[in-house]
A and B are shown apart, each in its own frame.
Chain A
Amino acid sequence: MQAVKYARASSVEEAISLLQEGGDGARPLAGGTDVIVQARERTRDISLFVDIKHIPELIGIDHSADGLTIGAATPCYQIYGDDKIQSDYPILVDSCSLIGGTAIQGRASLGGNLCNSSPAADGIPSLIVLEAQVEIAGPNGRRSVPVEDFCTAPGRNVLAAGEFVTKLTFPAPAGGSGARFLRFIPRNEMDIAVTNAATQLRLNGDGSVAWARVSIGAVAPTPLLVADAAAALIGQPLSEQTIAAAADASRAAANPITDMRGSIRQRVHLAGVLTERTIRQAAERAA
C-alpha cells in the first residue's frame, strides 16, 4: 500500500477543504472497493483518503413526490433492500445486486461506481436510462450534471480538483413505464461485464412506445446513451421490427475493443442482444 493517510469528514464543507489541502493525491473514500485496490496496486497515486460516508447527506435514500434521491455513498445493499426502490425503480435492484458479491455490496456505492467511471460499470447504464442527475460539491460551489455527460474516458470524469459527488437524483417514474438492466458475463455472478445494457420505456394505452431511453456499456470508452435506439422505438408499436431496429442502432453505436473479456465482434453482437432483451423486459415491467 502507498503511504496513504486517512481523514474522516463530517460535513460537505470539511470534505472540500480536506480534498483541497490534500491536492492531487486526495481521493474521496466511500465503500473503497475500487479506490483501496487502486492505492494498493498503485494504479492511481493516492496520498489521502477523505472518508465522505459519515456526511449525513451522502448516506441514505429519500423518496418524495418529485422523485428519488440517493446519497452518493449509500451502499448497494441498502439500495436493493429499500421497499420503494424495489417497487418503483427495480432496475436499480438489477444493477446493485450484480455489482460484486455480497461483501462488496455491503460497502460499494452507486456514487463510487459512477466516479470510478469504468466503461463496464454495472450501475451507470441504469442511471442513464433513469435520467439521473449527478449532484456535485466543490470549492466553487455546487453544480448538477446529467449522468450521461459525467464520464469522459475510462477512469475519467467531469469532476474538477476538490469536487466530489454528493447525491444522485431521479425523476419520479411516470405511469406505464418500466426499466430493465442486463449484463452478459460467462458465469452466473461475480464478474465484470463483457457488455451490459439498460432500457427504460413508457407505453401508451395502445401498447405503442411513448418514450424510451437506451444505454449500453463496455462497448466504448464510456457508457453510452443510444439516442438512435430510443428514436427507433418512440411512436412505434412494440413489434419485432421496431425492437430489431433499436438493436441495430445499439450495434451501430457500439465501438468496443477486444480484450481478455471479449472481442469486438462478440461485444457488438451482445449490444444488440441485450438491447433487445432489456426492451422486452422493460415492457413487461411497464405493463
Chain B
Amino acid sequence: MASEHVVVNCTINGENQVFLANERDSLLEALRDRIGLTGVKEGCNNGNCGACCVNMDGRIVNSCLVMAAECEGAQIRTVEGLADGDQLSPLQNAFLEQAALQCGICTPGFLVAAEALLEQNPDPTEHEIRYWLAGNLCRCTGYDKIIKAVQQAAGQSVV
C-alpha cells in the first residue's frame, strides 16, 4: 500500500506551520527533513535515548514515536524555541557554564526535557531531576554536569 502525503496544521515554537508530510513520517522526520528544524536529533529511533525529545501539548515526547500525521492541531516546542533571538535561555546558559555537554547530540533533548521539568517543578531535588531525565541518555558527560546545570537554572547553589 503506497503512503500518501498529508497536510498537517500545527503550531511550532509559537508559529503556525502548515507542512506536507508523508503519511509514514514520524514527527522527528517531519521536523528535520520537511521543516528544517535540525536541532532535534535522531539517536536510537526507537524511544530509548531521548535525543529526539520535543514538547507536544505541554508534555515531553520522543518525536520518533509520534507520527507526523498525529500532530494536526498540536502545539510543538523544539530546542529552537528556547532562545529569544541571540539570547540564550537561563537553562541554555547554565549548560554552557557547567560544561554540561561534550559531543552535543543529546543536548537538545536534555534541554527540552529539563525545561519542561522546571516549568512544572521550579525547585526540583537532585533525585527528581535524575528521575525526570532518566529517559535521556548521554554517553559523554556522566550526567553530573547536566544535573548541576539544571540545578543552576533552578537557582540552586551548585557545588
Interface residues of A (CB under 8 A from B): 1-6, 8, 25, 29, 31-33, 36-37, 40-41, 47-49, 51, 75, 77, 100-104, 106-107, 188-190
Hey, which chain B residues are within 8 Å of A33, CB to CB? 47, 62, 65
How far, in whole Å, are A25 and B134 apart by their CA atoms in the complex?
34
Given A29-B67, A32-B70; 19 other pairs, CB 8 A cutoff = A3-B24, A4-B3, A5-B4, A5-B24, A8-B70, A25-B1, A32-B67, A36-B64, A36-B67, A48-B1, A100-B135, A101-B136, A102-B113, A103-B62, A103-B113, A104-B65, A106-B59, A106-B60, A190-B135
Contact (A107, B135) CB under 8 Å given A77-B59, A101-B50: no
B134 near A37: Cβ-Cβ < 8 Å: no
Contact (A103, B53) CB under 8 Å given A4-B24, A189-B131: yes
User: Nearest Cβ distance between residue A227 and chain B, in whole angstroms?
Assistant: 35
User: Nearest Cβ distance between residue B68 and chain A, in whole angstroms?
Assistant: 9
How far, in whole Å, are A2 and B1 apart by their CA atoms in the complex?
9
Interface residues of B (CB under 8 A from A): 1-4, 6, 23-26, 45-48, 50, 53, 56, 59-62, 64-67, 69-70, 72, 113, 116-117, 131-136
How far, in whole Å, are A194 and B140 apart by their CA atoms in the complex?
28
Set B46, B56, B60: member contacting A40, Cβ < 8 A? B46
Set A36, A47, A101: member contacting B134, Cβ < 8 A? A101
A2 near B24: Cβ-Cβ < 8 Å: yes
A6 near B23: Cβ-Cβ < 8 Å: yes
Contact (A190, B134) CB under 8 Å given A36-B65, A40-B45: yes
Hey, which chain B residues are within 8 Å of A47, CB to CB? 1
9 A-B residue pairs with Cβ-Cβ distance under 8 Å, sorted by A, are A3-B2, A8-B69, A33-B65, A37-B65, A100-B47, A101-B134, A102-B132, A103-B47, A107-B65
Hey, which chain B residues are within 8 Å of A188, CB to CB? 134
A1 near B26: Cβ-Cβ < 8 Å: yes
From A78, which residue of chain B is reached at the shortest CB distance? B59
Q: What number of residue pairs across chains A and B have CB atoms under 8 A from each other?
A: 94
How far, in whole Å, are A1 and B30 apart by their CA atoms in the complex?
13
Set A32, A40, A77: member contacting B66, Cβ < 8 A? A32
Hey, which chain A residues are within 8 Å of B66, CB to CB? 32, 36, 107
Hey, which chain B residues are within 8 Å of A48, CB to CB? 1
From A3, which residue of chain B is reached at the shortest CB distance? B3
User: Nearest Cβ distance between residue B126 and chain A, in whole angstroms?
Assistant: 13
B50 near A103: Cβ-Cβ < 8 Å: yes
User: Nearest Cβ distance between residue A103 and chain B, in whole angstroms?
Assistant: 5
Hey, which chain B residues are within 8 Å of A41, CB to CB? 46
Hey, which chain A residues are within 8 Å of B50, CB to CB? 101, 103
B61 near A103: Cβ-Cβ < 8 Å: yes
**Most B CB within 10 A of own CB, among A1, A2, A104, A106:** A106
How far, in whole Å, are A219 and B155 apart by their CA atoms in the complex?
46
From B60, which residue of chain A is reached at the shortest CB distance? A103
How far, in whole Å, are A8 and B6 apart by their CA atoms in the complex?
12
